Amino acid sequence: MNPHTAQAASAVNGAQSLIGDRIYRLGADISLDGQVSWCPPGVHTIQPVNCYLIKGSAGSVLVDTGIRLHEAEIIRQLESLLEPGERLAVVLTRTEMECCLNLPAIEARFEVESVWYTGGITVPRTSATPRRIMVNPGDSLDVVVMDGLTLEFVSPLMRLLPTLWIFDPASGALLTSDAFTHGSYGSAQAAAGLQKFQWFAQADTRGIAQDVEDVIKERHVRAIGPGYGEPFLGEGQCATEATALAEAIRKVGIQ
């Protein structure tokens, strides 16, 4: 594990605390063996694939649902963290397979009252109340997901399809979907983890890079939780990783 990434404070049936008893990281590991589409070429290691549970006073919010490979693990982790009958809402950062495919299995086991998402290309059928929300790129919106639990839905400029980063003001954690995913590559391969932005090769990336840094700096982010890869902990480390990511985006674009 990268010494600058998060060390779990506690674990519950494989779910690891990201910040105290407020946010837990769920999921399990996969092997990066050349068959994983988001992995940079030549990188071979073990990588966690994550979703996150935010515990509130009147219920909990699950941010993304994990990959189908980890369905059983995620169900067990939720069973350990949720009280019987506890209210549960789901927020999808993207309507991509690694974010939403466990939604039917989770709905079959728990009382999911709402599913929040943007876009809508591959959302599985849901029996919960759908809450489709639009946030302009580069903007954000405070959303009362349930009583006593307000989250900031951030729409980053660094995206291809509609994407939400979820900021929890109560803990200072920012859950970043498919961004900040380089934390599991280790120091020898960290540069490779930051070189996956070829779609920006013909773009002026200065504003995109600045937005990455501003999102972290303006919120004094204390933890970054990506959809895959090790999280980062500490305000200083989060700022450092934002600078590194922004610089990688600047380098690949047109200056």
Residue 227 near residue 176, CB atoms below 8 Å: yes
Q: How many CB atoms lie under 10 A from the CB of residue 217?
A: 14
Query: How remote is the C-alpha of 104 from its chain's centroid?
Result: 20
Residue 2 lies in a domain: no
What is the count of structural domains for the chain? 1
Query: Which pair of tokens denotes residue 26?
Result: 């769920």
Q: What is the pLDDT of residue 8?
A: 42
- For residue range 167-206, what is the model confidence (pLDDT) as tens digits? 999 999 999 999 999 888 766 566 666 767 878 888 899 9
Lateral strand order in the sheet of 60-63: 11-12, 15-19, 23-32, 45-55, 60-63, 88-91, 112-117, 129-132
Q: Which residues pair with 25 in a beta bridge?
A: 16, 52
Residue 51 lies in a domain: yes
SS (H, E, C) 112-175: EEEEEECCCCCCCCCCCEEEECCCCCCCEEEEEEECCEEEEEECCCCCCCCCCEEEECCCCEEE
Residue 1 lies in a domain: no
Residue 3 lies in a domain: no
- Helix, strand, coil abundance in the chain, percent, nearest 5: 25, 30, 45
Q: Which residues pair with 31 in a beta bridge?
A: 46
pLDDT over 80 (residue 248): yes
- Which percentage of the chain shows pLDDT scores above 90? 71
Confidence of residue 222 (pLDDT cuts 50, 70, 90): very high
Q: What is the pLDDT of residue 178?
A: 93
- Average pLDDT in the chain: 89
pLDDT over 60 (residue 46): yes
- Domain extent, residue 181, equals 11-252
Residue 180 lies in a domain: yes
- For residue range 51-97, what is the model confidence (pLDDT) as tens digits? 999 999 999 999 999 999 999 999 999 999 999 999 999 999 999 98
Mean pLDDT of 98-124: 89
pLDDT over 50 (residue 4): no
Model pTM?
A: 0.92
Mean pLDDT of 205-231: 97
- The residue written with tokens 């990188």 in the block is 43
Residue 184 lies in a domain: yes
Residue 58 near residue 149, CB atoms below 8 Å: yes
CATH number, domain of 21, equals 3.60.15.10
Q: What is the pLDDT of residue 197?
A: 80
Mean pLDDT of 39-51: 85
Q: What is the pLDDT of residue 193?
A: 65
Residue 5 lies in a domain: no
Q: Which residues pair with 142 in a beta bridge?
A: 152
Query: Which pair of tokens denotes residue 147?
Result: 């009583």
Distance CA 81, CA 235 (A): 27
Sign of CA dihedral 184, 6, 163, 59: positive
Least Cα distance to 243 among 213, 205, 208 occurs for: 213
